[in-house]
Structure 1
Amino acid sequence: MREGSLEAPTRHPIDWENPDFYDEAKLEAELTRVFDICHGCRRCFNLCDSFPILFDLIDESPTGEIDGLDPHKDYKPVVDACTLCDMCFMTKCPYVPPHEWALDVPHLMLRARAVEHRKGETRLADAELAKTDRNGKLATFVSPLANWATDADNALTRTLMEKTVGIDREAWLPPFADTPLDRRDDLDRIAADAAAPAAGRKAALYATCFANWNMPGPGEAAVKVLKANGVETRIVYPGCCGMPKLENGDLAAVAEQARSVAAAFAPLIDEGFDIVAVTPSCALMLKFEWPLILPDDPLVKALAGATFDITEYVVDIAKKEGLAPGMQPLGGDIAIHLPCHSRAQNMGQKGAEMLRLIPEAKVGVVERCSGHGGKWGMFKANFATALKIGKPAGRAMLKTNAAFMVSECPLAGPHLKQVMEREGGEGVPQQVPHPIELIAKAYGL
């Protein structure tokens, strides 16, 4: 038996349409097998809280081994603590496929949640928060009222939210935009510079639910930077990538969304458009998760092959055509947080690579989990843990003493700001924006 695989990790398709996938006895047997291997290895002890919870349960059990646990009681806290960050699979585990033990802990946790979801055990707040397009359409229509109600300084409404739906009263919640990104006529009217180096490229900017309904800043910056470099750019938003529903184990809904969005992008891909996502979790879904959920769908496969993360795309332009001149130094060092779903795309440190294109830029990199975990970190049951997990990343950001601090994840950035505020001292930034916004700033856009 090999101790660990020296080959590149590979993932098996998610067999979610097979009735055995939802067989509780078979799921329990697989959880026991995998948890026993994890217990003997323990390389993931310092990632999310799932592994410390598992190891503590085993160590405190009567036998000190996996057979000392009660699967019906002890396995659920391990599953619930997983944020599907993929870091155990991507960076730590020596037993992922093609190793014969074939461990894929994130997708096993996903299977456990899918079983719970099929049984109707997904909590109501999780199910409702996952309806991002419905929520966005309603909230942007009354954005001043929605933003007043969700503001962390509004003790009345936030206390009520905590008591009724379980969202921690101190957790940062994203505001809603007055005008969705895909309805911004002013951005559509910006003409691509035909003399710029990347003229001839065509990009459909996948707004993602977050940039479309909540914080359009990264999308605005991406459009301006791409058009300044000659890229014919359209803002396109066929619908959410389904990541919030994936977190719930609602795989049928994710598959439905994948088919719908892939069909919407298919004509653009046929016209030669690249698909560029401004949020790393969404790029991860289009590139990797959807093809594993629908491995035989040709439109999903074509979309995966045409998709770029925005940082990856700008670096690709820089390497192949060169960026348009005009960027100026920002006048200070930069610290970038590389979130888990950027790292899980297996594309290298593209955010840092992009920022080093700014003249005189000195870029420090922090590769630690922010702890937020999508909507997971918003809940009162998880918020303190999310702060704890994010503390090493927050401390590392502060130690850089950088004038500019950024994160590729729009949820991780504000969460890390909260972590840094609790650490105290000087150097906490007013904002932790997306790195593409610094590129736009360097261009004077």
Structure 2
Amino acid sequence: MDDKKINLPDCCVACTACITACPVTAATHKFRGPKMVGPAQSRLNFAENDSEASLEYCSNCKNCDIACPSSVPISTLNMLARAKYYETHPHSQRDEMMGHPEKMSKLVAKIPFGAFFANTGMSVGRTLGMIKVMGLADQRPLPAYSDQTFASLFKSKQQPELEKKIVFFPGCIINYNEPQIGLDFIDVMNKNGYQVIFDENFVCCGSPLVTTGFLNEAKENAQTNTNLIKQWVDKGYPILTLCTSCSLMIKDEYQELFEGEIPDMEENAKHIFDACEFLEALYQNDQLNEEFGEVSHEFMYHAPCHLRVQGIGLPAMELLRLISGVKVTDADAGCCGISGNYGYKAENYDLSMKIGNTLFDTVKASGVDTVLTDCGTCRAQIEHGADVKTMHPISILAEAYHNADLSE
């Protein structure tokens, strides 16, 4: 670890900005606050018996990073502290599973009718209480697998031959659970003159590995993805994602977690974009295809924490407001509470729902039947907590372009 990373905790001035912003601290007194987990432990180098007892309460939502006046990557220090803990403590079988969603998904995809059997097994296991025995929250459904992966559907997806190209990093949820969103993305990019390239050698961004303490494996994934991204960047192709957690990880967190250990991360980051961020930039430069058909619907939009910490505004909302008939309101109601795999753990379920209550109440009071958000686990949490349909904003853009074609 280089001197810069070692000295990061010393930039913490021990104010309470992170504690005030932390949704977990607001929901439970058992968490002493972000600065006591990462910065304090890193600075004081506690002995094992004195380690911060509330280490597992940090959800890595990044609200502390947003609030910190000294720009200390507090959540990353918390994740490094968690990884340090697991160097001398075993992982549970539950965390082995939750930290490796790609491994589980690949197994399901290889088995004939694997998605059907896996989805049935999760449903039956939840009914019989087996999910709870595994340490997972049985109050909420686990993400269902798609019959076909995005990778398999991409092979048969027809695209026009276009001079401009982008490389798509789909992430685990779109590849294995919601591939239609990826197909919608291709349609949107084609409409804007870009052919989409998909590199099957990409691996999970590593976010689930980091939050469950598998830092060495996360570093291996970071190395693989960084090498692949560098090859595409050298060809002049931007890298786009549809998951704000994926874009945050490969653009920013790789550098925070593995600074000085993996070449090319900093340069790569200049060419990695959230899809709506990229499209909104096209709009600002008068390059966006604005030939939208009408989409007569009222939506609420939830900005994921991992979008807000990137400091790129709310590009999805800016794009949606260009579509005739769309009415979209910013929920502006804080963290949804799920934070990736955090809210799926049995011990975190009630806390996760308490954190999300303000958002759930805001959605219910609005009367909308559909909430838009860029994060897959946010969509699952909002559907569960607010009992509404959720969609990715890119799917509304795809619908608008489709409606324009129908009206011709």
TM-score category (smaller protein): 0.7 to 0.9
1:389-434 deviation digits (Å, cap 9, x = unpaired): 011111222233335321111111121121113xxxxxxx3x2011
Larger mean Cα displacement after TM superposition, 311-320 or 432-441:
311-320
Quick check: 1:385 aligned with 2:385?
Answer: no
Assess if the C-alpha contact under 8 Å between 2:27 and 2:351 holds in 1: no
Alignment match, 2:95? 126
Quick check: 1:316 aligned with 2:278?
Answer: no
Assess if the C-alpha contact under 8 Å between 2:61 and 2:305 holds in 1: yes
Change in 2 beyond 3 A, CA 1:13/1:190: farther
1:267-297 deviation digits (Å, cap 9, x = unpaired): 2222221100111100001110112233343
Assess if the C-alpha contact under 8 Å between 2:18 and 2:63 holds in 1: no
Secondary structure of the corresponding residue to residue 179 of structure 1: coil
Alignment match, 2:145? 176
In the alignment, structure 2 segments of 5+ residues that lack a partner are 34-46, 404-408
TM alignment of 1:271-310, pairs within 5 A = 271-296=235-260, 297-310=262-275
Distance 1:247 1:410 in 2: 16
Q: How many residues align?
A: 382
Assess if the C-alpha contact under 8 Å between 2:219 and 2:258 holds in 1: yes
- Measured after TM superposition, the shift of residue 322 of structure 1 is 3.0
TM alignment of 1:359-378, pairs within 5 A = 359-367=324-332, 368-378=334-344
Distance 2:290 2:376 in 1: 28
Assess if the C-alpha contact under 8 Å between 1:390 and 1:419 holds in 2: yes
- Measured after TM superposition, the shift of residue 72 of structure 1 is 4.4
| Equivalent residue in structure 2 for 1:435, among 388, 393, 400 | 393
Identity among equivalent pairs (%): 21
Distance 1:405 1:235 in 2: 28
| Equivalent residue in structure 2 for 1:108, among 57, 77, 88 | 77
Assess if the C-alpha contact under 8 Å between 2:245 and 2:307 holds in 1: yes
Larger mean Cα displacement after TM superposition, 339-348 or 262-271:
262-271
Secondary structure of the corresponding residue to residue 23 of structure 2: coil
Assess if the C-alpha contact under 8 Å between 2:372 and 2:391 holds in 1: yes
RMSD: 2.9
Distance 2:363 2:127 in 1: 29
Secondary structure of the corresponding residue to residue 213 of structure 2: coil
Quick check: 1:269 aligned with 2:233?
Answer: yes
| Equivalent residue in structure 2 for 1:221, among 171, 184, 191 | 184
Assess if the C-alpha contact under 8 Å between 1:152 and 1:170 holds in 2: no
Assess if the C-alpha contact under 8 Å between 1:57 and 1:74 holds in 2: no
Alignment match, 1:80? 56
Distance 2:23 2:31 in 1: 14
Distance 1:401 1:168 in 2: 28
Assess if the C-alpha contact under 8 Å between 2:300 and 2:328 holds in 1: yes
| Equivalent residue in structure 1 for 2:312, among 312, 324, 347 | 347
TM alignment of 1:64-75, pairs within 5 A = 72=49, 75=52
Secondary structure of the corresponding residue to residue 232 of structure 1: strand
Change in 2 beyond 3 A, CA 1:298/1:108: closer
**Aligned residue identity for 2:368:** A
- Measured after TM superposition, the shift of residue 321 of structure 1 is 4.1
Alignment match, 1:93? 68
| Equivalent residue in structure 1 for 2:206, among 230, 234, 242 | 242
Secondary structure of the corresponding residue to residue 144 of structure 1: helix
TM-score by structure 2 length? 0.85
Distance 1:262 1:46 in 2: 32
Change in 2 beyond 3 A, CA 1:284/1:13: farther
| Equivalent residue in structure 2 for 1:417, among 383, 394, 398 | 383
Assess if the C-alpha contact under 8 Å between 1:337 and 1:365 holds in 2: yes
Alignment match, 2:37? none
Secondary structure of the corresponding residue to residue 14 of structure 2: helix
1:317-367 deviation digits (Å, cap 9, x = unpaired): 222243324312211222110010011111111121121121243221123
Alignment match, 1:254? 218
Larger mean Cα displacement after TM superposition, 117-126 or 435-444:
117-126
Alignment match, 1:63? none
Change in 2 beyond 3 A, CA 1:55/1:175: closer
**Aligned residue identity for 1:260:** T
Alignment match, 2:39? none
Distance 2:199 2:283 in 1: 24
Secondary structure of the corresponding residue to residue 268 of structure 1: helix
**Aligned residue identity for 1:108:** L
- Measured after TM superposition, the shift of residue 89 of structure 1 is 1.5
Secondary structure of the corresponding residue to residue 264 of structure 2: helix
Assess if the C-alpha contact under 8 Å between 2:25 and 2:31 holds in 1: no
Assess if the C-alpha contact under 8 Å between 1:188 and 1:234 holds in 2: no
**Aligned residue identity for 2:318:** E
**Aligned residue identity for 2:117:** L
Alignment match, 1:44? 19
Alignment match, 1:143? 115
- Measured after TM superposition, the shift of residue 42 of structure 1 is 6.2
Assess if the C-alpha contact under 8 Å between 2:168 and 2:241 holds in 1: yes
Distance 1:54 1:325 in 2: 49
Change in 2 beyond 3 A, CA 1:220/1:190: same
Assess if the C-alpha contact under 8 Å between 2:301 and 2:371 holds in 1: yes
Change in 2 beyond 3 A, CA 1:313/1:205: same
Change in 2 beyond 3 A, CA 1:419/1:306: same
Change in 2 beyond 3 A, CA 1:287/1:185: closer
Change in 2 beyond 3 A, CA 1:216/1:347: same
Secondary structure of the corresponding residue to residue 338 of structure 2: coil
Secondary structure of the corresponding residue to residue 204 of structure 1: strand
- Measured after TM superposition, the shift of residue 187 of structure 1 is 5.3
